[in-house]
Amino acid sequence: MAQSSILGYPRIGADREWKKALEAFWAGKLVEAEFQAKLQEIRLTHLQKQKDKGIDLIPVNDFSYYDHVLDTATMFGIVPKRFEYNGGEVPLSVYYGIARGTKDAAASEMTKWFNTNYHYIVPELDGANPTVTENKPLKAYREAKEKLGIDGKPVLVGPLTFLKLSKGYDKAETDAWLDRLIPLYVQVLRELALEGVRWVQIDEPIVVTKIDNDDVRRLKSIYETFAAAVPQLNILLQTYFESVERYADIVALPVKGIGLDFVHGLEANLSAVREHGFPADKVLGAGVIDGRGIWRASLGEKLGVLEQLGQSVSSDRLIVQSSCSLLHVPVTVVGETKLASELKGALAFADEKLEEIALLTKGATEGRAAIASELESSERAVQALRQSAERNRADVQQAVAKLGAQEPVRGRPFSERRVAQQDKWQLPIFPTTTIGSFPQSAEVRKARQLWRKGEWDGERYAAFIREQIDLWIKLQEEIGLDVLVHGEFERTDMVEFFGEKLAGFVFTRNGWVQSYGSRCVKPPVIYGDVAFEQAMTVEETKYAQSQTARPVKGMLTGPITIMNWSFVRDDIPREQIAYQLAYALRQEVEALEQAGIGMIQVDEPAVREGLPLKEKDQANYLAWAVKAFRMTTCTVKDETQVHTHMCYCEFHDMIDSIEAMDADVISIETSRSHGELIHSFEENTYKLGIGLGVYDIHSPRVPGVEEMSGMIDRALRVLDPQLFWINPDCGLKTRGQEETVASLRNMVEATRIARAKHA
């Protein structure tokens, strides 16, 4: 008989209770005991829900107080020296200090979890002396069993994945570090085995990326050690986000089960099972329900996959599960009362996916007839949306096909455009600017809420937005910035704002997902063909420009970022969605230019996270991502300066593609990983305008002038001073006014010092 499971459940709660508890605790509104009690309540509610939905193997220790990778690091006492940790169980003050920074210590680097929009805290191994500070999986298992009678499945980040995602060690030390970590894992696993735990899920998603013979040897050594130490424990080696590399080697590892992704790695994983078979002594975790997408599954198609697997794996050795943790999807569709029935019926969030998994488990065990009515219902829902008018707009499809056949290029090369732009703007060396947004105070959020509720009319709200623009234009001039922004006070989110104004989008009421820490985002849903309807940013930007003689940048979110930060339709290729977005945004760029805006920033912070995990697929993705950006920006005049913003990425891996975007100026989020990026420029040249973020906006601390000067000096060792811009890491929406002004004043002073050196 097949069993059902998931790899993890969303932490945030149906009404973001988790986020609210974290922020109340950080603000001092909850004492630690109250905070702990609240999080336990949330955690137990989630476990009970899975039990009630019929999930057999319920994950525990997937819940986190911030981030599961940070949990693993602190469980092993891996705490950077600057936080003055003295051993033992890591206190919450230190735990949150690592994640968010303190007055005296910078936060640890934060980066994308593989190719998702979830961010993890990067462990710092330099100087660490790892030891088991507490057995977090054991605590989670005991809690579930004692409170709810659930015999849970503890979840751990695997040793190889943890090490590969860490920093602060040389690659030559990989084996030595594994020798230090493996005994700690063994200690945790032995304590779980003594407690009577049956199944443990060890996540090794690193095996879907490129791994070599040394990695295979390491995996063999790791899991042979575990098998010898805890032979009675059923270890499920879990992979996700793609098909596994080195399938035959992975399934030969001495574990009791292998979890594979049959959604994003469907074809390659199915082919591997057909070609090599599946070991008769192992259980297969079949990830057939999409843990990253929000669309209702065609249960008939999914059951077909399970039936194909059934040729190699008997149902009693099958676990029907999600393709990855449900961390990446909202909690439930239940409250989405404002969506059209056709659309709502085609959606499945975490709770609905639990039901789909339970149904498929029944179908895999008892046959199609046992779930015949459910199969028919799911197919009707899928087809209704697929055949809708919104998904079949001939005007959009024909226009995009015509544009896609052309090569989008600017009128003249950058070297010539730069002269025209400098003649027009007369900017000083090291121009200063910000990335776009300014603090969205409680007053701003309240005004938006009053407007959305209809308590304020449109004119009153527009007047309020103009007041905020006036305030921050004046502040920017007083601070001494060279290129200004209007502040984006009318925008809730850099993607949602545009989605609300474009055809083909719809918005959920409560479709929140965790991005990092307590930061939750509510991605738009691209459900139909995307089309431009009317100008989206011109009014506010034009008003801001009328209030100052300094240039004001128009601010747009780019096509790839809108796509990567939305839940997208799954019936056409992502490339086509990107081109539809680019065509719509091009019309907005042209509207800004016609309104007299001569600097236009098209932000693409999410290009890197959309990069396929498989090397063989990356060049094609980058080619059409670059084409989509250029399609958006290529029609402007030579003297119109195109900016873009990107978050930190493996710059040397993408430098050719980033240059090919042909933006006149790029700003890059770098402050948490400044040294690594500077090293990239020592090996690669960059010939266009560039600004490296000189301070971290994710932390409330105000960096000093000397600190920023040091970052500027390091960058100028490898970058052309004539092309260098100075700016913060990212937008400042989440920061307070006082700290923002103080930080920007320091940034401008650091710039003054740099100008004096390079005059």
CATH number of domain containing 317: 3.20.20.210
So what's the pLDDT on residue 111?
87
So what's the pLDDT on residue 671?
61
Q: Is 16 within any annotated ligand binding site?
A: yes
The β-bridge partners of 190 are: none
Q: Is 435 within any annotated ligand binding site?
A: yes
**How much of the chain exceeds pLDDT 90, in percent?**
87
- Number of structural domains (the chain) is 2
Q: Is 324 within any annotated ligand binding site?
A: no
Q: Which residues are catalytic?
A: 698
So what's the pLDDT on residue 714?
87
CA nearest neighbour of 305 among 261, 247, 240: 261
Locus of tokens 């042979």: 224
Q: Is 112 within any annotated ligand binding site?
A: yes
The H or E element containing residue 692 is: strand 689-693
Q: Is 17 within any annotated ligand binding site?
A: yes
- Write the pLDDT tens digit of every residue in 491-548: 988 898 999 999 999 999 999 999 999 999 999 999 999 999 999 999 999 999 999 9
Residue 699 pLDDT grade (very low, low, confident, very high; cuts 50, 70, 90): confident
pLDDT at 649 over 60: no
**What is the three-class DSSP state of 515?**
strand
Q: How many CA atoms lie within 13 A of 46 on its CB side?
A: 32
Angle at 694 between CA 70 and CA 470, to 5 degrees: 110
So what's the pLDDT on residue 69?
98
Q: Are residues 140 and 178 in the same domain?
A: yes
Q: What is the mean pLDDT of residues 265-280?
A: 97
Q: Contact, 260 vs 244, CB < 8 A? A: yes
So what's the pLDDT on residue 672?
56
Locus of tokens 């459910």: 374
Q: Kindly report the three-state secondary structure assignment for every residue of 628-680.
A: HHHHHHCCCCCCCEEEEEECCCCHHHHHHHHHHCCCCEEEECCHHHHHHHHHH
Q: Are residues 446 and 554 in the same domain?
A: yes
Identify the weakest region by mean pLDDT among 211-225, 453-467, 661-675. 661-675
Q: Contact, 531 vs 504, CB < 8 A? A: yes
So what's the pLDDT on residue 239?
98
* Residue 18 main-chain phi, psi, to 5 deg: -65, -50
Q: What is the mean pLDDT of residues 123-129?
A: 95
So what's the pLDDT on residue 517?
96
Locus of tokens 């843990």: 291
Angle at 566 between CA 625 and CA 161, to 5 degrees: 80
pLDDT at 679 over 80: no
- Count of CB atoms situated within 10 Å of the CB of 594: 10
Q: Are residues 345 and 402 in the same domain?
A: no
So what's the pLDDT on residue 684?
72
Q: Is 743 within any annotated ligand binding site?
A: no
What are the start-end ranges of the E strands in 182-305? 199-203, 234-238, 257-261, 283-289
**What is the residue range of 591's domain?**
394-758
Q: How many angstroms separate the first and last alpha carbons of the chain?
A: 76
Q: What is the mean pLDDT of residues 707-730?
A: 91
So what's the pLDDT on residue 675?
61
Q: Are residues 656 and 577 in the same domain?
A: yes
CA nearest neighbour of 356 among 336, 337, 382, 335: 382
More confident residue, 189 or 674: 189
User: What is the sign of the dihedral through the CA atoms of 733, 739, 743 and 749?
Assistant: positive
- Write the pLDDT tens digit of every residue in 542-564: 999 999 999 999 999 999 999 99
**Encoded amino acid at 288, one letter:** V
Q: Is 562 within any annotated ligand binding site?
A: no
Q: Is 18 within any annotated ligand binding site?
A: yes
- Separation of alpha carbons 551 and 542, rounded Å: 11
Going edge to edge, which strands form the sheet with 553-557? 553-557, 599-603, 641-646, 665-668, 689-693, 724-727
pLDDT at 3 over 70: yes
Percent composition of the chain: helix, strand, coil (DSSP 3-state, to 5): 50, 15, 40
- Separation of alpha carbons 362 and 633, rounded Å: 52
So what's the pLDDT on residue 533?
96
So what's the pLDDT on residue 82?
96
Radius of gyration of the chain (CA): 26
User: What are the structure tokens assigned to 199, written together?
Assistant: 């199944």
Q: Are residues 422 and 274 in the same domain?
A: no
The distance between the two most distant Cα atoms of the chain, rounded to a whole number of Å, is 80
Angle at 165 between CA 163 and CA 167, to 5 degrees: 80
User: What is the sign of the dihedral through the CA atoms of 690, 418, 427 and 594?
Assistant: negative
**What is the three-class DSSP state of 710?**
helix
Please state the pTM of the whole predicted model: 0.89
- Write the pLDDT tens digit of every residue in 296-353: 999 999 999 999 999 999 999 999 999 999 999 999 999 999 999 999 999 999 999 9
Q: Contact, 234 vs 605, CB < 8 A? A: no
Domain boundary among 354, 369, 386: 386
So what's the pLDDT on residue 653?
73
Going edge to edge, which strands form the sheet with 3-4? 3-4, 318-322, 283-289, 257-261, 234-238, 199-203, 153-157, 59-60
Q: Contact, 391 vs 385, CB < 8 A? A: yes
Average pLDDT of the chain? 94
- Count of CB atoms situated within 10 Å of the CB of 727: 26
Locus of tokens 């042909």: 662
Q: Are residues 599 and 466 in the same domain?
A: yes
User: What are the structure tokens assigned to 396, written together?
Assistant: 């959009």
Q: Is 520 within any annotated ligand binding site?
A: yes
pLDDT at 668 over 90: no
Burial pattern 8-17, b for ≥16 Cβ within 10 A else e, equals bbbbbbbebb
Q: How many CA atoms lie within 13 A of 503 on its CB side?
A: 16
- Write the pLDDT tens digit of every residue in 4-57: 999 999 999 999 999 999 999 999 999 999 999 999 999 999 999 999 999 999
The β-bridge partners of 203 are: 157, 238
So what's the pLDDT on residue 184?
98
Q: Are residues 441 and 364 in the same domain?
A: no
Q: Are residues 368 and 481 in the same domain?
A: no
- Write the pLDDT tens digit of every residue in 214-240: 999 999 999 999 999 999 999 999 999
So what's the pLDDT on residue 674?
57
What are the start-end ranges of the E strands in 30-108? 59-60
Q: Is 456 within any annotated ligand binding site?
A: no
Q: Is 142 within any annotated ligand binding site?
A: no
So what's the pLDDT on residue 695?
81
Q: Is 49 within any annotated ligand binding site?
A: no
Q: Is 126 within any annotated ligand binding site?
A: no
Q: How many CA atoms lie within 13 A of 115 on its CB side?
A: 20
Q: Are residues 604 and 739 in the same domain?
A: yes
- Write the pLDDT tens digit of every residue in 355-409: 999 999 999 999 999 999 999 999 999 999 999 999 999 999 999 999 888 899 9
pLDDT at 676 over 90: no
pLDDT at 1 over 70: yes
So what's the pLDDT on residue 164?
97
Q: Is 664 within any annotated ligand binding site?
A: no
Name 306's Cβ contacts closer than 8 Å, sequence gap at least 6.
286, 288, 318, 320, 360, 363, 364
Q: Is 97 within any annotated ligand binding site?
A: no
Name 503's Cβ contacts closer than 8 Å, sequence gap at least 6.
390, 393, 528, 529, 530, 531, 532, 533
Q: Contact, 101 vs 95, CB < 8 A? A: no
Q: What is the mean pLDDT of residues 575-596?
A: 97
**β-strand pairing of 665-668 with 689-693:** parallel
Q: Is 210 within any annotated ligand binding site?
A: no
CA nearest neighbour of 115 among 310, 328, 289, 401: 328
Q: Is 634 within any annotated ligand binding site?
A: no
**What is the three-class DSSP state of 235?**
strand
Q: Are residues 351 and 409 in the same domain?
A: no
DSSP code per residue over 180-200: HHHHHHHHHHHHHHHHT--EE
- Count of CB atoms situated within 10 Å of the CB of 216: 18
So what's the pLDDT on residue 404?
85
Q: Is 453 exposed, middle or buried (0-12, 13-18, 19+ CB in 10 A)?
A: exposed
The β-bridge partners of 259 are: 238, 285
So what's the pLDDT on residue 371?
96
- Separation of alpha carbons 619 and 587, rounded Å: 28
Q: Are residues 556 and 432 in the same domain?
A: yes
Crossing angle, helix 458-479 and helix 737-758, to 10 degrees? 40
So what's the pLDDT on residue 295?
97
- Write the pLDDT tens digit of every residue in 182-200: 999 999 999 999 999 999 9
So what's the pLDDT on residue 251?
98
Q: Are residues 571 and 592 in the same domain?
A: yes
Integer angstrom CA distances of residue 652 from 15, 38, 662, 680, 756: 41, 44, 17, 6, 31
Q: Is 755 within any annotated ligand binding site?
A: no
